Amino acid sequence: MLFDSHKDLSNSSILKWLVSSAIITFFMMGLLMFLLYERSVSLYNDNLDQWLISESQRLEHDAQNKYLSLPNVSQGKRYLYHFNAENSAENNQDYPVISQLKGQPAIQDYPTMRATKVMLADGRELVVGIDKAHYQQFKSKLGFSFWGGIVIPFLTLFVMATWIAMHILNRLSLVNATMNRVRHGERGVRLEVNDRRDEFDTLANHLNNMLDKLESSEAKLKSLTVDIAHDLRTPMGRIKLRIEDLLDSGQFLEKNEQHLVAIQHDFSLLIDTFSGMMELYNLETGRVPIEKKSCDLRKIVNDVLDFTEPLALEKQQKIYLTVDMPCVLQGNPSLLFRAVFNLMDNAIKYTPEQGVIEVIIDCFGVVIADNGKGIKTEDRERALDQLVRLDPSRSVHGFGLGLALVHAVMNIHNGQISLSDNSPGLRARLLFNLNAG
C-alpha cells in the first residue's frame, strides 16, 4: 500500500517538522537578505556621493578653465545637470543630499535626488545630481534579487521537504500495510528488506524477527491446545459411551437418571468443543486439503435458511431475503454453508422474539443484519478469536467458536468478515475477493 492520501501527508509530523524548519529558514534568510539589502543601498549611496564629488570636481575644473559649456554638461547619462540662476550660499547646506529642488521646471519630476552644485565662471550655479531613474533602476534590480534570494530557496526547501516526507511516508505505509495484514489474522507476512541497510531496513529486520517469534509462540500454543483437546476427547468419549450404556441398561435408581442425562449432555458439549477446536486448528494451519469449485451463494443461503427458519419461527422472528445481484465464486460449498449458518445461528440467538433478520446477497458476498443487541465496537475484533464469549452471564448456548470458524473460512477463500453497527443490532458481511482463485 503506497502513500496516496493527502490527509496522511497533512497529518505527517515529518512534513510539519520539515516545513517548520523551512519557514524558520525563510525568516532567517529574509532577515539576512534585508540586512544585505540595506547595506547594499548604503554602500551604493556612498558610491553615488563619491561619483558626485568626482563629477563636481571635474566640472569645477572645467569651469575654472572655461571648458564647460551647456552642451557638454547636458549629454551626461548618469547625472542630471541643471543650471541654477540663483546664486545663494545657503543651498550649499543641503549637500550632498538635496531634499527638494523647488522652482526648477526642468527637474520637477525629480523631487528627491542626491546632488551637488558647481559655481560657474559667470556666477551661475550648476546643480549636478544623480538621475532618479538610474537610482530606482538599481533599487528595483536589487529588490528583485532580494526577493529571488528568499522565495526561490524557500520554494526549493518546501518542495524538498514535501518530497522527503512523501518518501518517508511511502516506506512507512509499507510497514503499516504489513502490520495491518498481520492484525487481521494473516500469517507468514514479512517486511521487505533492501540492500540499503538504512534505518528502515533495521526496523524491518526487528519487526520480522518479532513476527517470527510471535508466530512461533502462537503455533506452539495452538499445537498444545489441540494436543490437549485430542488427548481429552478420547477418554471423554469413552466416559460418554459408558454413561449411555448405563442409561440403556437401566441398572440404576430412577432418581439418578436425570443426573446421568445431565452428565451425558455436559460430556457431549465438551467433546463438541474439543472437536471444534481441532477442526479450527486444521483449517487455520492448512492440514486439511480444501477442494474448491464453482459455488452459487444464493443456493448456499437458501440451504441455510431451510435449516434455520424453524429456529426463527420458534421465536416468531421474520427473515427477509434480498438478492441484489448473483454472486458466484470458487469455494468449498460445505465450508461456505457452515460460515453462513454460523452467522444465521448467531443472529437468531441474539435477536429478541418477534425480531427481524435481513439477508442480502450482492456481487460482493452476503450480508446478515439483525436488530438484536449487537456487539460493542471495541469487542468486534476480539469476537473473531476462538473461545471468546462476549456474554458475561454465559446465558446463551455456545462454545465461542462460531465467528472464529467463519473468520477461518473467509481466510481460506481470500475474503474477510466485517462486523458493523446496524442501529440497532449487528451487521455481519462476508466480503469475497472474486478476482482471487
Kindly report, residue by residue over 285-303, the tens digit of the pLDDT.
Answer: 777 788 889 999 999 999 9
How far are the Cα atoms of 38, 293, 295, 321, 433 from residue 333, in angstroms, in the given order? 83, 8, 6, 20, 16
- What's the half-sphere exposure (Cβ side, CA atoms, 13 Å) at 121? 11
pTM of the model: 0.52
Higher-scoring residue by pLDDT: 25, 301: 301
Query: Tens digits of per-residue pLDDT, 313-369?
Result: 999 999 999 998 888 899 999 889 989 999 999 899 889 999 999 999 998 999 999
Residue 167 backbone dihedrals phi, psi, to 5 degrees:
-65, -45
- CATH 1.10.287 residue window(s) in the chain: 199-285
What band does 270 get if pLDDT is binned at 50, 70 and 90? Answer: confident
Class of domain 199-285: mainly alpha
How far are the Cα atoms of 211, 305, 316 from residue 352, in angstroms, in the given order? 43, 18, 9
Residue 293 backbone dihedrals phi, psi, to 5 degrees:
-150, 175
- CATH 3.30.565.10 residue window(s) in the chain: 293-431
Q: What is the pLDDT of residue 71?
A: 43
Joined together, the cell numbers standing for residue 27 give 525568516
Q: What is the pLDDT of residue 42?
A: 81
Higher-scoring residue by pLDDT: 124, 374: 374
DSSP string across 123-170: S-EEEEEE-HHHHHHHHHHHHHHHHHHHHHHHHHHHHHHHHHHHHHHH
Q: Chain-wide mean pLDDT for the chain?
A: 75
Question: Of 105, 102, 85, which Cα lies nearest the Cα of 94?
Answer: 102
The answer to whether 85 touches 117, Cβ cutoff 8 Å, is no
How far are the Cα atoms of 15, 343, 360 from residue 340, in angstroms, in the given order? 46, 5, 12
* In this structure, CATH architecture of domain 293-431: 2-Layer Sandwich (3.30)
